[in-house]
């Protein structure tokens, strides 16, 4: 089947932005339902849009040069916000994602050697095994059935992280960690909204007690995991082994239990939810564009002839990777990042008082009217090498940019490629003809109503 540019398959669902910036109370209501809905249309058209009657309270930044200034060149004045910390602190404390200054530098240096591109390739067998186990679960459910793809991809990527950089988690612990992690994230937009309104931290908001209970349970499980590992006396060169063995460069002190739990929690959360969302949206897009799905399957088949995907195959699966990148453009797993200016400054001609919340809405950057031709269209050929080479580094940025760029980017790309290729060897994905999932920002990009897709075993 060949596609024409105007068939609906190639224009997957998006979010209709607000026609203009809304008054604060309306904006907050929309924000809690889905922050992407509170973005005014101009955010998709201009490089910077400020919100606030007399002085900017929020600035949405989408222009690549301005993002470069924020995230790469002037990190001395644009810092991570207290917002991220306040919202995520009960669950992941001040691990790598939320730490600052020397505390961040130490943790980043410690973890970096585990995330070199070649290390990611050494995990391909664990990744394809997790994908094969998912295929076996689908087969057990029948030759053709509707599967909850978002749930299934979360299971698969959790199995990968639990057997690679965080080896040693048993099935029950894994299930409990996932359950409590999801219970924490579900009501998170209320927590974000109250942090945005600068309410005192002790104030109530809907779901707060549930979140705190879930965080405490999650951390207790992670601590038990750590103690089990200590008792077993396993040194090992995985993340847990490295963190247990490390000493602070200045004080010589080992990591405290709290720091260890912060980091294990960080990697468990950041290391599977995001890649699960990348795979979920990719499978959805392929179910809407069957011709692309077949082309990817053909690429995998002609390279592997049906054998298991290996580390050597990853770089050769170029079409598969173009599809994954185009999926992360349309549906960035992390749809927004925030920063705050630590001094009064100017950005793109707008005076920013200190402090001003600066949001990089990656979702809007990736669909910006001035940067992309036919921005809402699914077209993996945008990522052909000669076309990708012309993109600015802050135009396509699913993994962020600058010193705080995602440490797991290579791991995630290798994983998404290995898992998708393995799944396509044995399964076909078809749209159910009804479900148009609204992309909802909940730290990661969730499909509203889940992601039911028909899976047929081949
Ligand atoms: C498709 C998958 C992924 C996406 C889209 C993604 C996206 C991101 C983004 C946008 C940031 C930067 C946030 C900011 O600057 O505010 C980030 C940071 C981070 N990511 Fe990922 N990520 C993915 C997979 C992973 C994986 C697999 C891991 C670990 C195994 C991981 C661990 C982290 C950590 C620890 C940070 C904080 C880094 C720092 O601040 O130094 N991520 N990620």
What are the sequence ranges of the domains in the chain? 8-457
Q: Which atom of ligand 1 is nearest to the CA of 95?
A: 35
Residue with the smallest CA separation from ligand 1 atom 20 is 406
Ligand 1 probe mutation, 406, 407, 410, 445, most atoms within 8 A of CB: 406
- The proportion of the chain whose per-residue pLDDT surpasses 70, expressed as a percent, equals 95
Which pLDDT band holds residue 247 (cuts at 50, 70, 90)? confident
**Ligand 1 atom nearest 111 alpha carbon:** 35
Decide if 279 contacts 419 (C-beta within 8 A). yes
Q: How confident is the model at residue 1 (pLDDT cuts 50, 70, 90)?
A: very low
What letters, b where the CB count within 10 A reaches 16 and e where it falls short, cover 247-285? eeeeeeeebeeebbbbbbbbbbbbbbbbbbbbbbbbbbb
Query: Which atom of ligand 1 lies closest to the CA of 403?
Result: 41
Phi, psi of 222 (to 5 degrees): -65, -40
- Ligand 1 atom at shortest distance from the alpha carbon of 99: 40
Residue nearest to atom 18 of ligand 1 (CA): 406
pLDDT at 8 over 60: no
pLDDT digit string, tens, across residues 142-163:
999 999 999 999 999 999 998 8
Q: Which residue has the higher pLDDT, 449 or 230?
A: 449
- Mean pLDDT score across all residues of the chain: 89
What's the mean pLDDT in 383-388?
97
- The mean per-residue pLDDT over the stretch 19-32 comes to 71
Q: Per the omega criterion (within 30 degrees of 0), is the bond before 173 cis?
A: no
Q: Are 361 and 62 in contact (CB under 8 A)?
A: yes
* Euclidean distance between CA atoms 335 and 36, whole angstroms: 9
Q: Please tell me the least confidently modeled range out of 55-64, 172-181, 197-206.
A: 197-206
Say how far apart CA 39 and CA 31 lie, in whole Å. 9
Provide mean pLDDT across the span 52-59: 82
Ligand 1 pocket, Cβ-based, cut-off 6 angstroms? 96-97, 108, 165, 266-267, 270-271, 274-275, 278, 333-334, 337, 398-400, 404, 406-408, 411-412
Q: What is the pLDDT of residue 237?
A: 67
Fold of 8-457: Cytochrome p450 (1.10.630)
Q: What's the pLDDT score for residue 2?
A: 41
Q: Residue 302 half-sphere exposure, CB side, CA atoms within 13 Å?
A: 10
Tokens of 110: 């410690």
Distance CA(66)–CA(43), nearest Å, equals: 13
Nearest CA to ligand 1 atom 7: 399
Residue 132 phi, psi dihedral angles, 5° rounding:
-65, -35
- What pLDDT does 9 receive? 55
Q: How far is the CA of 77 from the centre of ligand 1 (A)?
A: 22
CA of 182 to the centre of ligand 1 (A): 18
Average pLDDT over residues 292-307: 97
Compute how many other C-beta atoms are within 10 angstroms of the C-beta atom of residue 291.
12
More confident residue, 12 or 456: 456
Interval between CA 240 and ligand 1 midpoint (Å): 18
The tally of CA atoms less than 13 A away on the side-chain side of residue 419 is 33
Residues 6+ apart with CB under 8 A from 155: 134
pLDDT of residue 25: 67
pTM for the model: 0.92
Buried b (16+ CB within 10 A) or exposed e, 437-451: bbbbbbbbbbbbeeb
């Amino acid at each position: 089947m060949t596609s024409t540019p105007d068939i609906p398959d190639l224009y997957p669902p998006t979010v209709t932005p607000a026609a203009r910036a809304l008054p604060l109370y309306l904006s907050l209501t929309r924000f809690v339902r889905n922050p992407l809905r509170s973005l005014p249309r101009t955010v998709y058209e201009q490089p910077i849009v400020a919100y606030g009657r007399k002085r900017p309270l929020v600035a949405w930044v989408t222009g690549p040069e301005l993002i470069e200034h924020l995230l790469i060149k002037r990190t001395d004045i644009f810092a991570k916000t207290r917002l991220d910390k306040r919202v995520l602190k009960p669950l992941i404390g001040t691990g790598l994602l939320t730490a600052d200054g020397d505390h961040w530098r130490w943790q980043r240096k410690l973890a970096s050697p585990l995330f070199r591109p070649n290390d990611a390739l050494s995990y391909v067998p664990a990744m394809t095994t997790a994908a094969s186990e998912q295929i076996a679960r689908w087969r057990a459910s029948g030759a053709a059935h509707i599967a909850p793809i978002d749930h299934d991809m979360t299971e698969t990527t959790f199995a990968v992280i639990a057997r690679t950089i965080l080896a040693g988690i048993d099935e029950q612990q894994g299930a409990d960690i996932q359950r409590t992690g999801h219970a924490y994230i579900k009501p998170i937009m209320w927590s974000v909204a109250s942090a945005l309104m600068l309410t005192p931290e002790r104030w109530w908001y809907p779901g707060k007690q549930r979140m705190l209970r879930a965080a405490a349970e999650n951390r207790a499980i992670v601590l038990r995991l750590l103690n089990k590992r200590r008792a077993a006396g396993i040194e090992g060169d995985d993340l847990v082994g490295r963190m247990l063995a490390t000493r602070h460069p200045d004080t010589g002190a080992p990591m405290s239990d709290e720091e260890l739990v912060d980091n294990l929690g960080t990697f468990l959360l950041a290391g599977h939810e995001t890649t699960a969302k990348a795979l979920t949206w990719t499978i959805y897009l392929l179910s809407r564009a069957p011709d692309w799905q077949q082309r990817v399957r053909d690429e995998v088949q002609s390279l592997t002839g049906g054998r298991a995907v290996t580390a050597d195959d990853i770089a050769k699966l170029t079409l598969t990777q173009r599809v994954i990148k185009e999926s992360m453009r349309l549906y960035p797993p992390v749809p927004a990042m925030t920063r705050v200016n630590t001094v009064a400054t100017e950005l793109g001609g707008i005076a920013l008082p200190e402090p001003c919340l600066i949001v990089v809405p990656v979702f809007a950057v990736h669909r910006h009217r001035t940067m992309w031709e036919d921005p809402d269209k699914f077209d993996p050929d945008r990522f052909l090498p000669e076309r990708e080479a012309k993109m600015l580094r802050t135009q396509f940025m699913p993994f962020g940019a600058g010193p705080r760029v995602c440490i797991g980017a290579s791991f995630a790309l290798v994983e998404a490629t290995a898992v998708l290729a393995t799944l396509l060897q044995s399964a076909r994905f078809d749209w159910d003809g009804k479900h148009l999932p609204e992309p909802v920002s909940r730290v990661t990009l969730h499909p509203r109503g889940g992601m039911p897709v028909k899976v047929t075993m081949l």
